[in-house]
Amino acid sequence: MSNAKIGSVAFIGLGIMGGPMAANLVKAGYTVTGFNLTQPPIDALVAAGGKGATSIADAVRDADAVITMVPADPHVEQVMYGPDGVLENVRPGTLVIDMSSIKPSTSIGVAARGGELGLRVLDAPVSGGEAGAIEAVLSIMVGGAEEDFASALPLFEALGKTIVRVGPYGAGQTVKAANQLIVAGNIQLVAEALLFLERAGVDTEAGLEVLGGGLAGSTVMARKGDSMRARQFKPGFRIDLHHKDMGIVSEAARELGLVLPFGALATSLVAALRAQGDGDLDHSGLLLGLERLNGLADSPRSAGGNA
């Protein structure tokens, strides 16, 4: 990997995903300046060899590339627009990469405004969760111009393993919405299979091992199976965020005139868990919602589910 064309990177949003991603760019040899609304994640980046900034403008002013990783559409708009935002404070020609998961229309709007200002803009949402961010094995789905994708590729290679340009502006977000649809359904089905095995008295460790080696196997089962068995739902990707993403799926499907029956059910189950006050749990906490449906929420083996 060569980073000769891009030496300095501003990273805005150092949360569960952004923090380790920024640290991996430092490891890859980039000069990384980070900004976050709270100070501890900035301090963590500095401890990892990066630099801290006191504002977005301070972070992006001299950067060759800017990466933003924030929770939702309003945050992207707040970070990108306005006199203190990214677009008004970077140098012309700067590569601006939003890796948040948002509506395709928002990404298209950012790209349009960036183009008016002489910037190169990509939408590049990711999949892989906190573990994928830490291990730099994220799947990255990119929308934007081919030449801008080529310029950004060395950065992406420091963050992930599966990196694909999927189309023009906004296409990355459309593919990410499809990803979240599949992940929500997969988690729910793994939860149902696990509860099914438990009720039948099967050794669930052995059961999931053999299921994982066949057609039923999935990354969800491999990464979430053990923690689901232990009822440990420490957030790697919060229900709150998956609820937001399923809203994006529903809105996009409606605009396309599509009926997604299983997607609608998965959306309802995510929304129900959030309504029950568990929005801060990992999305594998769908198992907790399933237990409640089966009258098992107060069983001793579920008591650790909020850990």
Closest residue by Cα to residue 141 from 84, 192, 100, 182: 100
Q: Does any domain span residue 262?
A: yes
Using the structure block, give the residue that is written with the tokens 């999931």. Answer: 208
Q: What integer pLDDT is reported at residue 304 of this predicted model?
A: 43
Asked if the structure places residue 118 within a domain, the reply is: yes
Number of domains comprising the chain: 2
Residues 154 and 249 in one domain: no
Same domain, 205 and 288: yes
CATH code for position 63? 3.40.50.720
Check: pTM over 0.95? Answer yes or no: no
Q: Are both 20 and 160 inside the same structural domain? A: yes
| 3-state secondary structure (DSSP) of residue 196 | helix
User: What is the C-alpha to C-alpha distance for residues 242 and 146, in angstroms, rounded to an integer?
Assistant: 29
The residue among 112, 141, 168 that closes a domain is 168
Q: Which of 103, 161, 176, 234 is flagged as catalytic?
A: 176
Kindly state whether residues 149 and 279 are assigned to the same domain.
no
Q: Is residue 1 part of a domain?
A: no
Look at residue 267 and tell me if it is in a domain. yes
**What does DSSP say about strands 120-123 and 126-127: parallel, antiparallel, or unpaired?**
unpaired
- 54 assigned to some structural domain: yes
- Domain stops at, among 168, 183, 218: 168
The identity of residue 299, as a single letter, is S
CATH number at residue 255: 1.10.1040.10
Looking at the structure, do residues 131 and 186 belong to the same domain, yes or no? no
Residues 100 and 197 in one domain: no
The token duo for 118 is 């002489």
> For the chain, what is the radius of gyration of the CA atoms?
20
Q: Are residues 79 and 210 in the same domain?
A: no
Shared domain for 28 and 154, answered yes or no, is: yes
- Backbone φ and ψ of 218, nearest 5°: -160, 165
Q: What is the pLDDT of residue 301?
A: 39
Q: Within this chain, do residues 195 and 143 fall inside the same structural domain, yes or no? A: no
The torsion angle over the Cα atoms of residues 220, 222, 226 and 232, rounded to 10 degrees, is -30
Residue 3, domain member (yes or no): no
Q: Could you tell me if 150 and 185 lie in one domain?
A: no
Both 35 and 147 in one domain: the answer is yes
User: Does the residue 2 lie in any domain?
Assistant: no
- The residues near 236 (Cβ < 8 Å, ≥ 6 apart) are 16, 129, 130, 131, 282
Q: Which of 138, 168, 198 is the last residue of a domain?
A: 168
Q: Which of 44, 54, 74, 72 lies closest to 10, judged by CA? A: 54
Same domain as 196, residue 274: yes
5 given a catalytic annotation:
no
Q: Is residue 21 part of a domain?
A: yes
Question: Which pLDDT does position 5 carry in this prediction?
Answer: 80
Digit-by-digit pLDDT tens for the chain (307 residues) are 334 489 999 999 999 999 999 999 999 999 999 999 999 999 999 999 999 999 999 999 999 999 999 999 999 999 999 899 999 999 999 999 999 999 999 999 999 999 999 999 999 999 998 999 999 999 999 999 999 999 999 999 999 999 999 999 999 999 999 999 999 999 999 999 999 999 999 999 999 999 999 999 999 999 999 999 999 999 989 999 999 999 999 999 999 999 999 999 999 999 999 999 999 999 999 999 999 999 997 644 343 443 3
Range(s) of the domain holding residue 131: 8-168
